[in-house]
Amino acid sequence: MYPRILIDLKKIEENVDVISSKCSARNIWVAGVTKVFCADSKITDAMINGGVTYLADSRIQNLKKFEGIEIQKYMLRLPMMSEVEDVVRYCDVSLNSEYETIKAIDKVAGEQGKVHKIILMADLGDLREGIFDENELVKTAGKILELKNIQLKGIGTNLTCYGGVLPTEKNLNKLINLKKAIEKEYHVTIDLVSGGNSSSLYLIDENRMPEDVNMLRIGEAFVLGRETTYGNRIPDTHDDTFVLEAQIIELKEKPSLPIGELGMDAFGNHPEFEDKGIMKRAICAIGRQDIDPEGLISVDARIDVIGASSDHLILDMSAAGDSYRLGDTVKFKLTYGSLLKAFTSEYVEKVYV
Ligand SMILES: *Cc1c(COP(=O)(O)O)cnc(C)c1O
């Protein structure tokens, strides 16, 4: 059945091995982030075999799938009040920034006879989650330390997600100083400094990762073999771990400019077109419900993606000559956003190779 996504478990395991070995050589623990592949169990196993220390996901439905796996589980997204019971039941650790939520977790952990671990999140300027004000962060840590069923396991940050702010020695040292301030103020030791996601890996390569950062949460680099600071390929990794195949349902020569009075497209946009004369165009049976057309990279470099509606992907096949016929499939590598959509779409079959 098409469309389908071919998943190379061996290549994923090799990617995880290469990157996590590099981290452990620097005494950095690695959480394997599973959300982009919806915590698929075979891919999760490949991550574990590749050498991750923890599993991490932002959705509780995904974390529930890990029940029975003997590895510490991290809830990445700040817990909703409505999911606190499940977070305590299915996760060992959660990332938090709101004292009210942590207090609710403490109560539930008491009821479940558990001690739940917290990574307290600092916002270093990317302006997604985390406490922005330094004094407020240290004070919140003090209040957390008084809770009986909560262990303040670490301090963390998330960068390059909303604001595009890069991790640097400067902002990560700020995180380390916050940890030290908490330790000094309350006479405790804090085990973990969780210094970000795939975009922090470049600091290891450039030998600029601050000594005290001892944990990273890695998703994209593992699955796509790409670091996310500069978008470079990571040496000795694979970028074709996932290959999407879509089938051609129409193949015809047509003009490149629409004919008639132009209004809105299916998504309310006013598209613009360039006149490239008559083109050989293919339609594949896949659409925006399953992918972002901008996030498809044709394996055959002669093929260009022109656009897509909900269920139709339109390709410029002019340079491909007579290589393709109706019913043939076209292969694509995927960016993170398209991979996320393709995995989430129940219309895309998942096949392991
Ligand atoms: C998704 C996520 C990650 C992983 O990010 P990648 O760029 O895929 O490595 C790490 N931390 C948090 C909090 C996340 O939500």
| pLDDT tens figures, 85-102 | 999 999 999 999 999 999
Q: Is the pLDDT of residue 34 over 90?
A: yes
Backbone Cα Rg of the chain: 23
pLDDT at position 5:
98
Specify the fold of 9-224: TIM Barrel (3.20.20)
Residue 235 DSSP label: T
Where exactly are the structural domains of the chain?
9-224, 242-352
Residue 113 DSSP label: T
Name the one residue in this structure whose structure tokens are 């963390």: 156
Contact 245, 15 (CB under 8 A): no
CA dist., res. 57 & res. 84, Å (int): 15
Name the one residue in this structure whose structure tokens are 């209004």: 263
Q: Is 35 assigned a catalytic role? A: yes
Banded pLDDT at 78 (limits 50, 70, 90): very high
Banded pLDDT at 267 (limits 50, 70, 90): confident
Binding pocket residue ranges, ligand 1, CB within 6 Å: 33, 35, 58, 76, 95, 158, 197-198, 217-221, 228
The CATH code belonging to domain 242-352 is: 2.40.37.10
More confident residue, 161 or 216: 216
For 279, the 3-state DSSP assignment is strand
Q: What is the pTM of this model?
A: 0.95
pLDDT at position 249:
98
β-strand pairing of 296-298 with 329-334: antiparallel
State in Å: Cα 29 to ligand 1 middle: 15
